[in-house]
Chains A and B, each alone.
Chain A
């Protein structure tokens, strides 16, 4: 049990499909994140939510749509993706601005997405 759970672990989807990635954290954190990890590239921050409010959108294309209904759950809705969107999508959580100073990120195991 990592404290941050992501489902599904693997996802294969066509370019016209609509799918959603789910993340749940059991650590009592206030901030949640989506990161994209591609081969030979740094971890790319996509979105940040702090107390359910989006505080960062790192110029992510609109075919990725995040949703944060509460501080424990985070979704990433996917629509009309491209093959270059194939990557490992990592969810993370942290204490957030109101919590411990510079608290570390806790990552989930990720969803391996393949777009065909």
Chain B
């Protein structure tokens, strides 16, 4: 089955700096790659996603890059703010499948 590895497990950055979280996956048939943000005591929420026919997608301060050959994708947050502090999960899914496999999560702390 699919195996998703996420790094780092914790990340501390100074307010205003950038944060990068990386995920690798094993199944080359996977072609949908979302990122979820989970604040303390709240539900995971989709923040950005990318499909395999695209190499990069950007939404304001958040961007995701995908390297299908190397089977890895990354979340980039620029100009970090304290409210970006949360747990971030990457996930992977095959075409038209229902099974979304998650990474272990990254605890991001933005220090002001």
Residues of A at the B interface (CB closer than 8 Å) are: 2, 4, 31, 33, 40-43, 45, 48, 50, 55-56, 90, 94, 96-97, 101-102, 104-110
Give the size range of B's interface with the partner: 20 to 34
> Is A109 within 8 A of B98, CB to CB?
no
> Is A50 within 8 A of B104, CB to CB?
no
Q: A45 to B20, alpha carbons, bound, how many Å?
A: 26
Q: A107 to B102, alpha carbons, bound, how many Å?
A: 14
Q: A97 to B94, alpha carbons, bound, how many Å?
A: 11
> Is A97 within 8 A of B96, CB to CB?
yes
Give 21 A-B contacts (CB < 8 Å), ordered by A residue: A4-B43, A40-B104, A41-B104, A42-B101, A42-B105, A43-B102, A45-B101, A48-B98, A56-B98, A90-B44, A94-B98, A96-B98, A97-B98, A102-B31, A102-B51, A102-B96, A104-B49, A105-B44, A105-B46, A105-B100, A110-B43
Q: Which residue of B lies closest to A35 (CB)?
A: B102
> Is B43 within 8 A of A109, CB to CB?
yes
Residues of chain B in range 56-112 having any CB-CB distance to chain A below 8 Å: 89, 93, 95-96, 98-105
Q: Which residue of A lies closest to B105 (CB)?
A: A42
When A102-B32, A105-B100 are in contact, do A90 and B95 touch as well, CB less than 8 Å?
no
Q: A2 to B105, alpha carbons, bound, how many Å?
A: 22
> Is A107 within 8 A of B4, CB to CB?
no
> Is B98 within 8 A of A55, CB to CB?
yes
